[in-house]
């Protein structure tokens, strides 16, 4: 990700070098060695750039550091040294280097962009966000900063804002396939699959062998029952990455959904995706293990159950039931581990709505709302009556501020459970955010009539604070209904 701005830095710093060199006396004699006469920091920097361009990373680092010894206030050298440190995984030193470059030259976008990219890599999105926005103020067409910001806002649940950045990233006529792929992902998070397919088509025009774009397009085609198209995409992806378990699993699922069970079985068998155990009389997958281990796995003691489940998983590494049980067990204690177990279960049996819904709920708990929405839509499509999938999808869409879609899910939940008072609260707030004040007021009042003070006190307090100003807005004929 740092490569693109590293090449731009070479251009920028070459201008600085040319200027510095022209200002020097023509009689200055500079040797190639780092002896006493090699005291020109710009010349040393040039040599560092040359080594850097030829992949001689360790040599480049030594030369950048030598240039900084000769001229401590040398922002270009600080920046390039930091990029080398990133490639060497010396990330704390790299962070200090980028910050020093910013301190020395506050009007240069690249250190802001470089530091932002590093902080994103370190999962420090909140710190990265203002730095990347500053990079854009200084260089509005910084494609790296635009893509990183799109990712950050998407992870934060701000799908519409993410789309703005993604569109700006693809406005560049030389935008890479990765920018169009990102735009497609953001468009899917905004429930615009038609636009997402167009973006993926564009990505594949630029880079026909982009596996990620092929997989993304296959997912949309499966969701829209275009199984033949999905199979074509996955077969192409599999040709590019033979024996990839995830792609094989998706291909088997596409064949199964497309009414070709024999092909699905052939692909699953060839990829080693079938578990050796058969189904029991109760329809549950059997596992290899001692009776004591299986009994312990069903223990009410979470510690005992987990230990046994993990032992059984060692013997049955591709058993989705064990993976899903571990995912459920770790959901509140260790969300990241829960997410990984559910992900693996859903990949092994992508047609199993319970596993997919579990994966979606784990993504939701990890606050990865856009990804959760995509997965949970798939679960709802596979099992339209799965209450948990609908409930989690409603939350994901609400967090993404996709209020019309969220409203549809909350209405479904109320049809299933008419006494679910808290659903009226979310329906009311969704209408409120949309400026549909009459509908919001009706739902708020319904919520207050049905709410339980023991379980809904926080929401009750919020509603009571909101109602006076809401009623005034209705009296003043504010809201979308009264806009001309």
* pLDDT reading at 283 higher than 70: no
* pLDDT reading at 196 higher than 80: yes
340 and 424 co-located in one domain:
yes
- Range name among 171-185, 288-302, 320-334 with the lowest pLDDT average: 288-302
* pLDDT reading at 274 higher than 50: yes
**Which residue, 230, 257, 272, sits at the end of a domain?**
272
Where does the pLDDT of residue 483 fall: very low under 50, low under 70, confident under 90, or very high at 90 and above? low
* pLDDT reading at 289 higher than 70: no
* pLDDT reading at 387 higher than 80: yes
Buried b (16+ CB within 10 A) or exposed e, 431-469: bbebebbebbbebbebbbebbeeeebeebbeebeebeee
Cβ pair 342, 307 in contact under 8 A? no
pLDDT at position 411, please? 92
Q: If phi over 0 gives left and psi between -120 and 50 gives alpha, with beta otherwise, what is residue 283?
A: left
DSSP H or E run through 418: none
The mean per-residue pLDDT over the stretch 162-191 comes to 91
Distance (Å, whole) CA 227 – CA 221: 6
* pLDDT reading at 15 higher than 60: no
High-pLDDT (> 90) share of the chain, %: 41
pLDDT at position 248, please? 82
* pLDDT reading at 4 higher than 70: no
**Which residue, 224, 250, 272, sits at the end of a domain?**
272
- The verdict on residue 346 lying in a domain is yes
Residue recorded with tokens 């510095």: 20
Contacts of 350 (CB under 8 A, 6+ apart): 249, 250, 253, 356
- The CATH number for 444's domain is 1.25.40.10
For residues 345 and 407, which has the higher predicted lDDT (pLDDT)? Answer: 407
pLDDT at position 288, please? 62
How high is the mean pLDDT of the chain? 82
Q: Rg (Cα) of the chain, in Å, rounded?
A: 28
Q: Is the dihedral of CA 76, 80, 85, 86 positive or negative?
A: positive
474 and 341 co-located in one domain:
yes
352 and 242 co-located in one domain:
no
**Which residue, 224, 241, 272, sits at the end of a domain?**
272
- Range name among 154-168, 304-318, 401-415 with the lowest pLDDT average: 304-318
Nearest 5°: the CA angle 81, 135, 201 is: 100
Cβ pair 287, 294 in contact under 8 A? yes
Within 289-365, residue ranges assigned H as helices are 291-297, 302-315, 320-329, 335-348, 353-365
* pLDDT reading at 163 higher than 90: yes
* pLDDT reading at 282 higher than 50: no
462 and 366 co-located in one domain:
yes
pLDDT at position 5, please? 33
Distance (Å, whole) CA 368 – CA 359: 11
φ, ψ for residue 330, nearest 5 deg: -95, 5
Tens digit of pLDDT for each residue in 206-264? 999 999 999 999 988 988 889 999 999 999 999 998 877 778 878 887 887 788 888 88
Cβ pair 182, 166 in contact under 8 A? yes
- The verdict on residue 34 lying in a domain is no
- The verdict on residue 353 lying in a domain is yes
Distance (Å, whole) CA 154 – CA 17: 39
The mean per-residue pLDDT over the stretch 73-91 comes to 93
Within 29-158, residue ranges assigned H as helices are 41-53, 57-70, 75-87, 91-104, 109-121, 125-138, 143-155
Nearest to 60 by CA among 71, 73, 44: 44
pLDDT at position 38, please? 54
249 and 369 co-located in one domain:
no
Report the range out of 190-194, 230-234, 347-351 with the highest average pLDDT.
Answer: 230-234
- The verdict on residue 442 lying in a domain is yes
- The verdict on residue 214 lying in a domain is yes
Distance (Å, whole) CA 242 – CA 236: 10
Distance (Å, whole) CA 354 – CA 345: 10
Contacts of 231 (CB under 8 A, 6+ apart): 218, 251, 254, 255, 258
Q: What is the 3-state secondary structure (H, E, C) of 427-474?
A: HHHHHHHCCCHHHHHHHHHHHHHHCCHHHHHHHHHHHHHHHHHHHHHH
- The verdict on residue 120 lying in a domain is no
467 and 358 co-located in one domain:
yes
263 and 343 co-located in one domain:
no
350 and 477 co-located in one domain:
yes
High-pLDDT (> 70) share of the chain, %: 86
Tens digit of pLDDT for each residue in 421-452? 899 999 999 999 999 999 999 999 999 998 88
The mean per-residue pLDDT over the stretch 475-482 comes to 78
Please, which residues bridge with residue 285 across strands? 279
Tens digit of pLDDT for each residue in 100-145? 999 999 999 999 999 999 998 888 888 999 999 999 999 999 999 9
- The verdict on residue 180 lying in a domain is no
DSSP H or E run through 199: helix 193-206
The mean per-residue pLDDT over the stretch 257-278 comes to 70
Distance (Å, whole) CA 109 – CA 295: 61
This model's pTM is above 0.75: no
pLDDT at position 210, please? 92
266 and 345 co-located in one domain:
no
pLDDT at position 266, please? 84
261 and 344 co-located in one domain:
no
- Tally of domains within the chain: 2
The mean per-residue pLDDT over the stretch 43-65 comes to 92
pLDDT at position 259, please? 84
Q: Which two tokens stand for residue 462?
A: 């919020």
pLDDT at position 103, please? 95
Distance (Å, whole) CA 443 – CA 423: 9
The mean per-residue pLDDT over the stretch 46-70 comes to 92
Q: Tell me the residue range of the domain where 233 lies.
A: 209-272
- The verdict on residue 283 lying in a domain is no
pLDDT at position 31, please? 38
260 and 340 co-located in one domain:
no
Cβ pair 389, 411 in contact under 8 A? no
Distance (Å, whole) CA 186 – CA 180: 10
The mean per-residue pLDDT over the stretch 66-87 comes to 93
């Amino acid at each position: 990700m740092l490569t693109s701005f590293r090449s731009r830095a070479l251009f920028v710093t070459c201008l600085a070098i040319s200027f510095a060199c022209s200002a020097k006396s023509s009689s200055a004699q500079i040797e190639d060695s780092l002896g006493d006469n090699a005291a020109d920091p710009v010349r040393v920097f040039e040599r560092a750039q040359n080594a850097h361009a030829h992949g001689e990373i360790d040599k480049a680092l030594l030369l950048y550091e030598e240039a900084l010894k000769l001229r401590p206030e040398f922002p270009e050298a600080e920046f390039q040294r930091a990029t080398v440190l990133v490639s060497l995984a010396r990330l704390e030193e790299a962070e200090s280097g980028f910050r020093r470059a910013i301190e020395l030259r506050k009007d240069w976008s690249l250190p802001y962009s470089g530091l932002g990219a590093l902080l994103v890599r370190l999962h420090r999105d909140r710190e990265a966000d203002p730095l990347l926005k500053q990079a854009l103020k200084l260089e509005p067409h910084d494609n790296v900063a635009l893509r990183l910001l799109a990712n950050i806002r998407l992870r934060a649940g701000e799908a519409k804002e993410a789309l703005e950045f993604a569109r700006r990233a693809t406005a560049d006529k030389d935008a890479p396939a990765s920018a169009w792929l990102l735009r497609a992902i953001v468009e899917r998070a905004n429930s615009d699959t038609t636009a997402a397919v167009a973006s993926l088509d564009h990505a594949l025009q630029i880079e026909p062998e982009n596996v990620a774009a092929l997989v993304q397009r296959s997912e949309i085609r499966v969701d829209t029952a275009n199984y033949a198209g999905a199979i074509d995409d996955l077969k192409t992806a599999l040709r590019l990455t033979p024996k990839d378990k995830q792609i094989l699993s998706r291909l088997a699922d596409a064949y199964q959904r497309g009414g070709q069970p024999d092909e699905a079985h052939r692909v699953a068998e060839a990829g080693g995706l079938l578990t050796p155990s058969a189904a029991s009389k109760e329809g549950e997958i059997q596992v290899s293990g001692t009776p004591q281990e299986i009994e312990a796995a069903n223990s009410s003691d979470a510690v005992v159950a987990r230990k046994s489940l993990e032992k059984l998983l060692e013997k049955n590494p591709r058993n989705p039931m064990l993976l899903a049980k571990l995912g459920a067990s770790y959901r509140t204690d260790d969300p990241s581990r829960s997410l990984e177990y559910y992900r693996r279960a859903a990949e092994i049996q992508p047609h199993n709505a319970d596993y997919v819904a579990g994966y979606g709920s784990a993504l939701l708990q990890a606050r990865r709302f856009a990804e959760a929405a995509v997965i949970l839509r798939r679960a709802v499509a596979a099992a339209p009556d799965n209450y948990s999938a609908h409930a989690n999808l409603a939350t994901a869409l609400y967090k993404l501020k996709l209020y019309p879609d969220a409203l549809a899910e909350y209405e479904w939940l109320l049809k299933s459970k008419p006494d679910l008072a808290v659903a009226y609260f979310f329906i009311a707030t969704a209408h409120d955010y949309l400026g549909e004040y009459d509908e919001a007021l009706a739902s708020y009042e319904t919520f207050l009539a049905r709410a339980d003070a023991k379980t809904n006190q926080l929401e009750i307090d919020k509603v009571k604070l909101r109602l006076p100003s809401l009623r005034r807005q209705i009296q003043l004929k504010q809201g979308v209904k009264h806009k001309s």
